[in-house]
Amino acid sequence: MSARRIFARPARLAAIAPYLWMVLFFLVPFGFVLKISLSQTAIAQPPYTPVFDFTEGRAALAAAFAQLSFDNFRLLISDNLYILSYLRSLVVAVTSTLILLLIGYPIAYGMARLPQRWQGVAMMLVIVPFWTSFLIRIYAWINILQHDGLLNQILLALHIVSAPVVWLSTDSAMYLGIVYSYLPFMILPLYATLSKLDASLLEAAGDLGASPLQAFWLVTFPLSLPGVGAGALLCFIPVVGEFVIPDLLAGSNSLMIGQTLWLEFFTNKDWPVASAAAVALLLLLVPPLVLYDRLQRRQLAANR
């Protein structure tokens, strides 16, 4: 056996590994969800029908397959509840992403311009909140925002307000929670691109007559767009499906799709509709992902 073959085999295995992972932990489960989304609710265990039974022969399997239908997807389109949930999810995700960008960009920019030895410290400060459980941090916010919470106490003590303000169970509280939780995901990719930016490019811009502000808009910002894209996507996609933050901090008058999904699944025990909603959500997220991938590719081609 030649040396090449000995080395080629583990290399090929390594190349297959990520695909194997994707098949095992994404495609196969997605197949289950897709199948359930095409089934009907049943008061049974599992709570849907048909159930594919591979022991009953080919005819029974074909009959079960014939029972699958798109009814649940039709329901999603016909019932306002779902469409409104999707819309609200999109609005919340877009708004949150914009706020995150507005807050995260200056922070990342400032971090990238710190002296080298302080950059690590700043990075730690961004990451440190992750050491506490996400749920505990959200509960802490409830404590701060509730009627007799820290925020109202401070405002009252400073005589800024005369009566406690309702913070909790509002959209503001939800946005606060989302921005607080997702900020590191915006900062880190932005910081990664901004810190790689060649400082001599800004000097060149200045040398050619650009004021510092012009240099920022003409050089720094366009060159940081890959980081903006990555950060925006890292925030946008999970926020669309966010369940915990709106459930704990927002009011109950309008639901995000994650909450609707949860209700269908756990309260209504309607697995098929919940699955259909999940599949629809996934399809909804495909266009921005494809767009991002295309941008990324163009960037890579340009950087070659």
Partner 1 sequence: MPLLRIEGVAKSFGNFRAVDKLSLDIRAGEFFALLGPSGCGKTTLLRMLAGFETPDEGRILLGGSDIAQVLPHERPVNMMFQNYALFPHLSVRDNIAFGLKRAGMARKDIAIRVAEMVALVKLEGMEKRKPDQLSGGQRQRVALARSLARRPQVLLLDEPLAALDKKLRESTQGELMELQRRLGMTFIIVTHDQEEAMTMAGRIGVMDAGRLVQVATPRNLYEAPASRWIAEFVGDINLFNGEVAARDHGRLTVKTTEAGTLAVSELWPPVTKQVVSVAIRPEKVKLSRRAPATDAGASQAINRLEGVVIDVNYLGGVTSYRVKLETGAVVRSSMANTARLDVDAYLAGQRVVAWFTADDCLVLEQ
Interface with partner 1 (CB under 8 A): 198, 200-201, 203-211, 214, 218-219, 222-223, 302-304
Do the beta carbons of residue 37 and residue 82 sit within 8 Å? no
CB of 100 to partner 1, least distance (A): 24
C-alpha to C-alpha distance for 229 and 92, rounded to whole angstroms: 18
Q: How far is the CB of 303 from partner 1 (least distance, A)?
A: 6
Specify whether the backbone of 227 is left (phi greater than 0), alpha (psi in -120 to 50) or beta.
alpha
192 vs 41, 151, 199, 201, CA distance in Å? 48, 34, 14, 17
For partner 1, the closer CB: 47 or 206: 206
Closest separation between CB of residue 72 and partner 1, Å?
A: 46
Residue closer to partner 1 (CB basis): 22 or 201: 201
In the complex, the smallest distance separating the C-beta of residue 202 from partner 1, rounded to whole angstroms, is 9
Indicate the residue among 64 and 210 with the shorter CB distance to partner 1. Answer: 210
Closer residue to partner 1 in complex, CB, 221/243: 221
Q: Which is nearer to partner 1, 79 or 198 (CB)?
A: 198
- Number of neighbours of residue 105 by Cβ within 10 angstroms: 20
CB 227 within 8 A of CB 193: yes
Tell the smallest beta-carbon distance from residue 225 to partner 1 (Å): 9
What is the rounded distance in angstroms from the CA atom of residue 247 to the CA atom of residue 72? 24
